[in-house]
Homo-oligomer: A and B are copies of this chain.
């Protein structure tokens, strides 16, 4: 059986967000145990012109949210990018998982062979659904979840790659 667009998207994002939520919880626990102000992590970034942790998590959320909305032909919920605390970032992740879980397998798979049109940096672009997911949405999603993890590692949070990959039981 080949992969459906659904299999290659919703469960992959859900798994990635659950792993990310566990990574954030480890950061919270580490900060608490070491009297580190959590705001330090929330506002940390790897370069002056890169987004901090907040923006990385908003970016991962947007990648999944808009990706699934466009593939499923539904309107994505507005999310205001106003998170300033780790708790709010966890809520953003939970809300994103909740939204993508409302889009059915049939809705996503109906997009197979279809065309997605969007604006990238002000330029309108059309993609067949499959390269849209594989070459745009998925690398965008992983870019932001990996950068979130990397920011926390750079801040000294004790994490390993298995935290990023999640469990395989």
**A4 contacts chain B at the CB level, 8 A cutoff:** yes
**Given the complex, which residues of B lie within 8 Å of A73, measured CB to CB?**
none
- A156 to chain B: closest residue by CB: B47
Chain B positions within 8 Å of A113 at CB level: 1
A77 within 8 A of partner (CB)? no
- Set of chain B residues within 8 Å of A153, measured between Cβ atoms: 46-47, 50
Contact between chains at A130 and B46 (CB < 8 Å): no
Q: How far apart are the CA atoms of A146 and B148 in the complex, in Å?
A: 11
List B contacts of A80 (CB < 8 A).
Answer: none
Q: How large is the interface on A (under 10, 10 to 19, 20 to 34, 35 or more residues)?
A: 35 or more
A135 and B3: CB pair below 8 A?
A: no
Most B Cβ at <10 Å: residue of A2, A134, A142, A153: A2
Q: In angstroms, how far is the closest chain B Cβ from the Cβ of A76? A: 20
Whether A162 pairs with B16 at a CB distance below 8 angstroms is no
Check if B154 sits within 8 Å of A46, measured CB to CB. Answer: yes
Contact of A146 among B47, B112, B142 (CB under 8 A): B142
Q: Write out, one digit per residue, whether chain A residues 9-52 have a CB within 8 A of any chain B CB (1) or not (0).
A: 00110011000000000000000000000000000001100100
Residues in B whose Cβ lies below 8 Å from that of A3: 2-5, 8, 130, 134
List the 6 shortest-distance A-B pairs measured between CB atoms, nearest first: A142-B142, A146-B146, A2-B2, A3-B3, A47-B153, A46-B154
